[in-house]
Chain A
Amino acid sequence: MLTRADSERCYHCGEPVPAGTFFSAEIDGEARPMCCPGCQAVAKLIAGSGLDSFYRLRTELNETAAPLPEENLYLAYDDPANSADFVSGLDDGLQRAQLLLGGISCAACTWLIEKALLANPAVRAANVNLSQQSLVVEFNRDRLPVSELFQQLLALGYDPHPWQLSEGARLIETEQRAALRELAVAGLAMMQVGMFGIALHAGDIQGIALEYRGLMRWVSLLIASVVVLYSARSFFRNAWNNLRFGRLVMDVPVALAIGLAYIASAWATVRNDGEVYFDSIAMFTFFLLLGRYLERQVRRREYLRQTDLQSLLPVAALRREGDRWQTVATRSIRAGDELLLRAGDTVPADGVLLDGGGAVDEAAFTGEHLPRSIGPGERVCAGTVLREGGGSMRVDCDAAGSRLATMLSMLTRGGDKPALAKLADRVAARFVGVVLLVAAGVAAYWLHTDPSRALWITLSVLVVSCPCALALATPAALTAATAHLRRRGLLLVGEDSLEALLRCRRVVFDKTGTLTRGHLRRRETRIAGEISEADALALAAALEQQGRHPIAQAFADITPARGLEQVEVVAGRGIRGWLNGRRLAIGSPSFVTGTCPKLPAPPTSPGHWIALADQLGPLAWIALEDTPRNDAAQTVRALQRRGLTVELLTGDPSDAGPELAQQLDLDAARIGASPQDKLDHIHRLQAAGTPVAMVGDGLNDAPVLAAADCAFAVNQATDLAKSQADAILLGQSLGPLDDAFGMAVRCRKTIRQNMGWALSYNALAVPLAAAGWVPPWAAAVGMSASSLLVVLNSLRLK
């Protein structure tokens, strides 16, 4: 029998090629191995369209492609009423569709999708946005039905979803563009004012005719007015909004500095004496806006991933209309409808199974990775997946009342994150108070001693104390830390995540899919009959290959025996078949007893035991388990060395939880917790004064992630979980978690150094200015130098 080297990997997705399979596709004239029919179909399509160069251009591997469903699941969208949310008509009779695409991994994907779509004459324009992972396509719906468009994207290996821009997302887009406009104006103005600034500073040193000095000041005033009135207006607005409620935030001294420096300079220009600070105003505004723009850019990415009920449910369902099944859009399903469920379907609504049965995967709600067997009369929930079997169900509540909808609404209740008083704002509050007091003192003193100099000296105190460095201290350090962590494989989304992380004393992990990989592996095989282990596994693999149950994954690495006949898959229980005159069965002990009445009790050691037997007697017992991620133990140890308590919190009630806790040496484990239990547990810990960091992946973790002080989602997490997380792990490894804790400590240290420097600069410069000893050029140089120092210090975080 031919075997392939373990090292052979799928050319499309990089997964190991399972033994005994020989899928391949010809790319650039060379046959490349493929791991599954799905990847093979996609690769053949790409190569067949002459787009082979995609594989040379890409910088990341693709996601493993699922085989195309036999029928078009998107037919419901061909009805304009069902697609009105994301397909709009254009003036010239064409349509524009907005879609979100799953599976885009690098820029080459955008190229591939655009090229492939544009090859169809019915498509006029296609534009993929890489950072939003969205697609806008203009096409003729009569020549290319919407369902066909979806099907083509699916055939390329991307998972299309309708994209309805939510109000929130639309607002973020508009804000981001406005921020970029303000930044652009400030940047160009800064260059202009800076040019005149150099002439003016040179004039201060070597002498300049009053006439030309006046001209340059007036021009600078003109340009700086645009900066102050247009680009800097958000600072004034924020400062005013916060001041009205008695809050002194960082924007207050910023607005005060910009405003006062501008007024003082304008006054000096009109009177043609004193000093002007237009260049500092423009530069300061530009750098602050730049910091904020970059910070927002990071967060925008994840905010745009809207998660609503619709995106978690299937597009369409089969509803009984009279005596036949009609495909209808999921959103038109009401209580009382009768729906048909088939293997592989996501259940579209809550209800009761009328007939049939099968195994339903409820990992979304319970975190349990093995599907639950169901029969007539049992409840099924919207959002769960029917892995095997089939039947019909009666819907008993509308979408708004479903368990899934209840879970989503828990988010809003769980989503009250502990408010963080930001270090920068706390410092700012005191700083503003002190500066105003000092300025008042200086004004009073000079009015008393030398009234003619009082105004200019007071203004110079206020300008010199301009908190540029102070305002940049935090954002510069945070931006540097975020960039560093991103390269290490952790995307920070929340503004306060690093600061929140510092306070966390406990890290709570979800089990399935977070600490573990979320798929089953063989742990142990015990031979119980006259058979070699290799033969037993080959038989088991042959049987399991027939089912869709997740257990089949555990046998993917085995070459199955050939010649299996009359296979019968009993949903949720096991599989039977005939091979060379033997009647074989694999599955749960109670199922296998049907074939082999003499089956003894399963071994007592831990694990999920399944039996393999023929009609004469048992052949083997196989224990399955979910395996921890490669670096789980290492990461847990590293976190514990930091003095953190590491806890397991899982919905799985089996003994796999405690066993994993022991294996990884965790400090505590709670098993069988419902989403509400999990939320209560986090709230209890927080009430007892322990800030909690949570790491999770599933739908059921989303409310808990929202409630935790700092939340991490793993890469494979559901969109809902990601949307609640402060940080997202980008790779397979848990290691970046530990990096994040380390970076949080270093980042705080850097912020403190920055603030210490900024405050001591002010402490030194203000008394000198108060005494009237600081020439304006020295004040401007000092201001710029201290800001530069803060930025450079922050860059050390890399």
Chain B
Amino acid sequence: MDSLYILIPIALVFCAVAIKLLLWAIDSGQYDDLDKEAWRILMDEEDTQPHERKPQD
């Protein structure tokens, strides 16, 4: 059980890092528009090259 004295502080450090990252993400505006982000991943997969007509046969 003595390992708790090491494991708990490590957990706290991870928690602090997670909070830090989250706050950074919020401040850099990544949560400003939740409506669009859900869609963006779908959009970018589409090809955006000028349309080439395939020969009909």
Contacts and interface: CB of A to CB of B under 8 A. Distances in A.
Contact of B35 (A50, A53, A131, A184): A131
Contacts of A28: 51
Interface string B1-43: 1001100100110010011001100110001111110111011
B19 A111 contact: no
B35 A57 contact: no
B46 A57 contact: yes
Contacts of A47: 51
A223 B18 CA distance: 14
B21 to A, nearest CB: 10
Contact of B15 (A132, A188, A212): A188
Contacts of B4: 212, 215
Given A57-B43, A219-B8, A219-B12, A29 B27 contact: no
Given A108-B43, A188-B19, A192-B15, A130 B51 contact: no
Contacts of B33: 129-132
Given A107-B38, A110-B39, 4 more contacts: A108-B39, A130-B35, A209-B1, A219-B12
A53 B31 CA distance: 27
B51 A110 contact: no
B27 A177 contact: yes
A60 to B, nearest CB: 12
Contact of B34 (A56, A131, A184): A131
Contact of B51 (A52, A212, A215, A219): A52
Contacts of B34: 131
Interface of B: 1, 4-5, 8, 11-12, 15, 18-19, 22-23, 26-27, 31-36, 38-40, 42-43, 46-51, 53-54
A129 B18 contact: no
12 contacts: A29-B54, A47-B51, A53-B48, A57-B43, A107-B38, A110-B40, A111-B40, A129-B36, A130-B33, A132-B32, A185-B23, A192-B15
A343 B38 CA distance: 43
Contacts of B48: 50-51, 53, 115
Determine the main DSSP class of B at the interface with A: helix
A122 interface: no
Interface residues of A, number: 36
Contacts of A129: 32-33, 36
B28 to A, nearest CB: 10
Given A50-B50, A212-B1, A192 B11 contact: yes
Contact of A184 (B26, B38, B46, B51): B26
Interface of A: 28-29, 47, 49-53, 56-57, 107-108, 110-111, 115, 128-132, 173, 177, 180-181, 184-185, 188-189, 192, 209, 212, 215-216, 219, 222-223
A71 B30 CA distance: 38
A29 B42 contact: no
Contact of B23 (A132, A181, A209, A222): A181
A227 to B, nearest CB: 11
B42 to A, nearest CB: 7
Contacts of A50: 48-51
Given A29-B53, A129-B32, A132-B33, A177 B43 contact: no
Contact of A111 (B43, B50, B51, B53): B43
Contacts of B12: 192, 219, 222-223
A189 B22 CA distance: 13
| 6 residue pairs, one from A and one from B, having the closest CB atoms | A107-B39, A50-B50, A130-B36, A111-B43, A53-B46, A130-B35
Nearest to A47: B51
Contacts of A173: 32
A132 B29 CA distance: 13
Residue with the highest number of chain A CB atoms closer than 10 Å, among B11, B31, B51? B51
Contacts of A184: 19, 22-23, 26
Nearest to A27: B51
Contacts of B22: 184, 188
B19 A215 contact: no
Nearest to B9: A219
Contacts of B36: 107, 110, 128-131
A613 to B, nearest CB: 52
A56 B31 CA distance: 27
A111 B4 CA distance: 50
A180 B15 contact: no
Contacts of A115: 48
Nearest to B33: A129
Residue with the highest number of chain A CB atoms closer than 10 Å, among B38, B39, B42? B39
Given A50-B48, A180-B31, A184-B26, A107 B15 contact: no
B43 A107 contact: yes
Contacts of B51: 28-29, 47, 50, 52
Contacts of B35: 107, 130-131
Contacts of B38: 107
Nearest to B35: A130
Contacts of B31: 177, 180
A223 B47 CA distance: 48
Contacts of B23: 181, 184-185
Nearest to B29: A177
A180 B19 CA distance: 12
B8 to A, nearest CB: 6
A188 B18 contact: yes
A108 B48 CA distance: 13
Contacts of A128: 36
Contacts of A57: 42-43, 46
Residue with the highest number of chain A CB atoms closer than 10 Å, among B11, B22, B49? B22
Given A131-B33, A192-B11, A111 B39 contact: yes
A49 B50 contact: yes
Nearest to B14: A192
B19 A53 contact: no
A423 B19 CA distance: 36
A49 B50 CA distance: 6
Nearest to B44: A111
A494 B51 CA distance: 47
A60 B3 CA distance: 57
